[in-house]
């Protein structure tokens, strides 16, 4: 494999999505679990505060990934955002409602006001968690793209059994990831409820992932011409998920959280490894596939982007790591804060 700037930016975009799903995955999971592990306003405040300092920073990974696609592979961006327009619009609306809910919930003590925003947090977390899986399952499956790089399908094209299965995988995996995050950030009655839910979430997550991998053999070409990166990603995902289950039963929740995190990293690696050098396969024929070459910007653009990324990405990583270190303590019912 020739490692040129096109390949470099494909890898960087894969890394950005990996970071987004790892970090925003437990954000979504916490929002999904909010109605189930918190039974009164103070408990809900504690649950929200576990991600209060982080959720907006985690979403920067998505913004950066979208910007990188736009600048490095503009044809990929155009086809993706036009073909998946409605699905991405729903994700955007859900994220806006979720962000507003975090900020507005504490502005009024009225129970109806707070309950309404809590519903927005739940829906704004569950819908993107589902739709991201639908989107990526369809990307690796292939969508109708013609010779002009135009998506010729509809929203219902994306709502196929394989795509919906992918959505259920991300929905349950993020919920499990979020539950484990809460097990590290809460105590008392909230922690007890989270621990009770963990085993019940791990089992369907594992079943769905196994079904997704099996369905991939039929619906995609991910296992045709398998490369080392793919196999390492898949092996890491499977081993990490099984290890996470074992750790949950052993009540070693920190290690289980690492396990679900590695499952996410391995899964994204497997999917992007199977795509390379394509960025969007066409179901109308391989001659219409979008690749890292026919969808790319000019070499000069990629050179400038590489220099900018080399300067600013390390600074962002250092800052985000620092923020997690500062807010590493558990959030308790006795010392909850208004974020």
What separation in angstroms does the CA of 266 have from each of 270, 271, 278? 6, 9, 19
The pLDDT of 113-127, averaged and rounded, is 94
Does residue 127 fall inside a structural domain? yes
Pairing of strands 278-280, 290-291: antiparallel
- Give the per-residue pLDDT at 31: 95
Q: Looking at the DSSP assignment, which residues form a beta bridge with residue 282?
A: 143
Beta strands per DSSP E along the chain: 278-280, 290-291
Q: How far apart are CA 60 and CA 320, in angstroms?
A: 10
Question: What contacts 19, CB < 8 A, 6 or more positions away?
Answer: 61
Give the Å distances, CA to CA, from 66 to 13, 23, 113, 170, 328.
9, 16, 33, 19, 29
Q: Which residues pair with 278 in a beta bridge?
A: 291
- 154-158: Cβ within 8 A, 24+ apart: 155/86, 155/87, 158/84, 158/87, 158/134
Token output for 290 = 């979008």
Domain limits for position 15: 5-326
Q: Six-digit token pair at 206?
A: 């594992």
User: Does residue 334 belong to any structural domain of this protein?
Assistant: no
The C-alpha atoms of residue 127 and residue 29 are separated, in whole angstroms, by 11
pLDDT in tens, 267-326: 999 999 999 999 999 999 989 999 999 999 999 999 999 998 888 888 888 988 888 888
Could you please report the per-residue DSSP string of 265-329? HHHHHHHHHHHTTEEE-BTT-GGG-EETTTT---HHHHHHHHHHHHHHHHHHHHHHHHHHHHT-S
User: In this structure, are residues 29 and 181 in contact, taking their beta carbons and an 8 Å threshold?
Assistant: yes
Coil vs helix vs strand at 145: strand
Is the model's pTM score more than 0.75?
Answer: yes
Domain membership of residue 331 (yes or no) is no
Reduced to 3 states (helix: H, G, I; strand: E, B; else coil), residue 30 is helix
Does position 339 have pLDDT exceeding 70, yes or no? no
Domain count for the chain, please give it: 1
Bigger pLDDT: 1 or 306?
306
Quick check: is 45 in a domain?
yes
Which residues are registered as beta bridge partners of 290? 280
Report the distance separating Cα 63 and Cα 17, nearest Å. 10
Cis bond upstream, residue 277 (ω within 30): yes
Q: Is residue 338 part of a domain?
A: no
Q: What is the pLDDT of residue 337?
A: 54
For the stretch 189-247, pLDDT in tens is 999 999 999 989 999 999 999 999 999 999 998 888 888 999 999 999 999 999 999 99
* C-beta of residue 135 within 8 angstroms of C-beta of residue 159: no
Q: Provide the pLDDT for residue 323.
A: 85
pLDDT tens-digit map of 164-184:
999 999 999 999 999 999 999
Is residue 169 one of the residues assigned to a domain? yes
What rounded mean pLDDT belongs to the chain? 91
Question: Residue with structure tokens 């919906």?
Answer: 164
- What distance in Å separates the CA atoms of residue 60 and residue 69, rounded to the nearest whole number? 14
Share of the chain above pLDDT 70, in %: 97
pLDDT at residue 197, rounded to an integer: 93
The pLDDT value given to residue 332:
78
With cut-offs at 50, 70 and 90, classify the pLDDT of residue 2.
low
In the prediction, which pLDDT does 194 show?
A: 94
| Angle in degrees, 0-180, between the axes of helices 5-37 and 188-219, rounded to the nearest 10 | 140
Reported as a pLDDT band with limits 50, 70 and 90, residue 90 is very high
What whole-number distance in Å separates Cα of residue 315 and Cα of residue 246? 36
- Per-residue confidence (pLDDT) for residue 336, from 0 to 100: 52
Q: Which of 70, 58, 88, 54 is nearest to 13 (CA)?
A: 70
Euclidean distance between the first and the last CA atom of the chain, given in angstroms as a whole number: 48
Interatomic CA distance for residues 62 and 219, integer angstroms: 27
pLDDT-derived band of residue 338, with 50, 70 and 90 as boundaries? low
Give pLDDT tens digits for 242-265. Answer: 999 999 999 999 999 999 999 999
Answer whether residue 339 is part of any domain.
Answer: no
Kindly indicate the confidence band of residue 3, based on its pLDDT and cuts at 50, 70 and 90: low
Q: Is residue 138 part of a domain?
A: yes
pLDDT of residue 136: 94
């Amino acid at each position: 494999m020739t490692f040129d700037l096109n390949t470099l930016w494909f890898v960087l975009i894969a890394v950005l999505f990996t970071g987004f799903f790892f970090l925003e995955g437990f954000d979504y999971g916490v929002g999904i679990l909010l109605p189930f592990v918190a039974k009164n306003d103070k408990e809900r405040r504690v649950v929200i505060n576990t991600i209060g300092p982080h959720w907006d920073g985690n979403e920067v990974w998505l913004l950066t990934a979208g910007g990188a696609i736009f600048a490095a592979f503009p044809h990929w961006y155009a086809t993706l955002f036009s073909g998946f327009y409605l699905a991405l619009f729903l994700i955007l609306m859900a994220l806006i409602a979720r962000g507003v809910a975090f900020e507005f919930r504490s502005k009024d003590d009225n129970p109806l006001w707070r309950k309404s925003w809590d519903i927005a947090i739940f829906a704004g977390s569950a819908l993107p968690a589902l739709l991201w899986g639908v989107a990526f399952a369809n990307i690796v499956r292939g969508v109708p793209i013609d010779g002009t790089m135009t998506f010729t399908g509809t929203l219902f094209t994306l709502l196929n059994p394989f795509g919906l299965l992918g959505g259920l995988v991300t929905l349950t995996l993020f919920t499990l990831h979020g539950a484990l995050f809460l097990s590290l950030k809460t105590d008392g009655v909230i922690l007890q409820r989270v621990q009770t839910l963990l085993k019940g979430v791990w089992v369907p997550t594992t079943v769905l992932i196994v079904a997704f991998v099996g369905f991939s053999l039929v619906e995609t070409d991910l296992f045709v011409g398998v490369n080392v990166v793919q196999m390492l990603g898949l092996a890491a995902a499977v081993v990490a998920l099984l290890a996470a289950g074992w750790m949950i039963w052993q009540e070693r929740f920190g290690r289980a959280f690492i396990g679900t995190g590695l499952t996410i990293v391995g899964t994204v690696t497997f999917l992007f490894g199977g795509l390379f050098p394509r960025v969007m396969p066409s179901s109308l024929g391989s001659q219409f596939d979008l690749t890292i070459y026919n969808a790319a910007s000019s070499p000069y653009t990629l050179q400038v982007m590489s220099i900018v990324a080399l300067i600013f990405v390390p600074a962002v990583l250092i800052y985000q790591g620092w923020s997690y270190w500062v807010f590493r303590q558990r959030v308790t019912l006795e010392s909850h804060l208004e974020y």
